[in-house]
Amino acid sequence: MKSISLDAHAKINLSLDILGKLPNGYHSVKMIMQQIPLCDTVKIEATDGSGIEIFCDTEGVPTDERNSAYKGAELFLEKTNISSKIKITLNKKIPAAAGMAGGSTDAAAVLKGLNELFDYPLSNEEILELCLKIGADVPFCYMGGCAISEGIGEILTPIPPLENAHIVIAKPQFEVSTAWVYQNFKMENVSSRPDTEAVISAIAKGDLKGLAENTANVLETVTEREYPIITEYKNILKNMGAKLSMMSGSGPTVFGIFDDLKLAESAYKKMQKLTKDSFLLKI
């Protein structure tokens, strides 16, 4: 038996803009994603035989072909013609359906882990092609770091990450379907869009004020309107000293970025009383 364990990191969106809708039904995006320390642990075991098994410690997470990690393993085996029984164990820390790429990052970790386990039969380019077949966030999760994501998520340009900041993350106790959010997005409802170049400059300088003044997540026009608690969480974080408070991805997770640890700790304690899915992270 061969086995490997990997950390599968969550992401937040430091900006999210939608440029239009493509003929294939997907949306053309321009966004900045950053990997954060919050992560799942993905253990992969390969033995003689065939089939894919998923085990997960979190109730409600599918353990069949609906799971993105399963899809990653399936695509890898098909692409490489490798015959093996694959057992995947997911120790989840990233909340599900939260706008932090929890499923996408598990899939990326499976592809990365299987490629290493079987002595790298696929190039990075081939892995990224498989990533995109699973979901738009998977290529970024495979690459990690901080990047501008364009197209439908397949065009990635690495940039220096935001550093030396404290992040408080809070996910309300419900899930949001990414597909539903995009289906209900209407460009005419957008009144504030990010200045992506200004956001990139602010990230490079560690300028949280500049980041806050120039960024936006246009999907808030869908999710925040439907779920006012997102607005409530954003306002709490701002009032407690966050330089920037915004929804990540399609939501419903809200994050606040602080330059003062004590303020971040106070905000974290407040959010812990409101939702069990609260985290305090240092980047």
Q: How far apart are CA 264 and CA 164, in angstroms?
A: 13
Q: How many CB atoms neighbour CB 55 within 10 A?
A: 11
Domains contained in the chain, number: 2
Q: Are 88 and 135 in the same domain? A: yes
Q: What is the pLDDT at residue 155?
A: 93
Q: What is the pLDDT at residue 59?
A: 84
- Which residues contact residue 57 at a Cβ distance below 8 angstroms, ignoring those fewer than 6 apart? 90, 91, 92
Q: Are 12 and 92 in the same domain? A: yes
- Which residues contact residue 233 at a Cβ distance below 8 angstroms, ignoring those fewer than 6 apart? 170, 172, 245, 254, 271, 274
Q: How far apart are CA 167 and CA 189, in angstroms?
A: 29
Q: What is the pLDDT at residue 103?
A: 94
Q: Are 133 and 218 in the same domain? A: no
Q: What is the pLDDT at residue 153?
A: 84
250 exposure class (CB count in 10 Å sphere: 0-12, 13-18, 19+): buried
Give me the half-sphere count of Cα atoms (radius 13 Å) on the Cβ side of residue 110.
30
Q: Are 124 and 173 in the same domain? A: no
- Listed as ranges, residues in the chain with pLDDT below 70 are none
Which domain covers residue 58, as residue numbers? 2-158
pLDDT digits (tens, 9 = 90+) for 54-113: 999 988 888 899 999 999 999 999 999 999 999 999 999 999 889 999 999 999 999 999
Q: Are 142 and 181 in the same domain? A: no
Q: What is the pLDDT at residue 60?
A: 82
Q: Are 103 and 151 in the same domain? A: yes
H helix runs in the chain, sequence order: 68-80, 102-117, 124-134, 138-143, 178-183, 196-205, 208-214, 220-226, 229-239, 261-274
H helix runs in 4-119, sequence order: 68-80, 102-117
Q: Which tokens sit at 77? A: 């085996």
Give exposure, 180-213, as e/b (b: 16+ Cβ within 10 Å): ebbeebeeeeeeebbbbebbbebbeeebbebbbe
| Strand-by-strand arrangement of the 166-170 sheet | 244-247, 254-258, 166-170, 278-282
Of 110, 135, 158, which residue is a domain's last?
158
| CA 191 vs CA 54, 219, 229, 239, 245: distances in Å | 43, 11, 20, 23, 17
Q: What is the pLDDT at residue 225?
A: 94
Q: Are 64 and 91 in the same domain? A: yes
Q: What is the pLDDT at residue 22?
A: 81
- Which residues contact residue 100 at a Cβ distance below 8 angstroms, ignoring those fewer than 6 apart? 10, 11, 12, 36, 38, 94, 169, 171, 248, 249, 253
Q: How far apart are the first and last CA of the chain?
A: 36
Strand 85-91 to 27-47 pairing: antiparallel
Label residue 97 left, alpha or beta by phi (over 0 means left) and psi (-120 to 50 means alpha): left
Q: Which tokens sit at 168? A: 């408080």
Of 123, 158, 193, which residue is a domain's last?
158
Q: Which residue has the tokens 């790429």?
A: 101
Catalytic residues: 11, 137
Of 158, 190, 212, which residue is a domain's last?
158
Q: What is the pLDDT at residue 23?
A: 82
Q: Are 37 and 96 in the same domain? A: yes
Q: Are 82 and 134 in the same domain? A: yes
CATH of the domain at 30: 3.30.230.10
Q: Are 95 and 235 in the same domain? A: no
Q: What is the pLDDT at residue 154?
A: 84
Q: Are 120 and 170 in the same domain? A: no
CATH of the domain at 193: 3.30.70.890
Q: Are 260 and 121 in the same domain? A: no
| CA 5 vs CA 130, 134, 167, 195: distances in Å | 20, 21, 26, 39
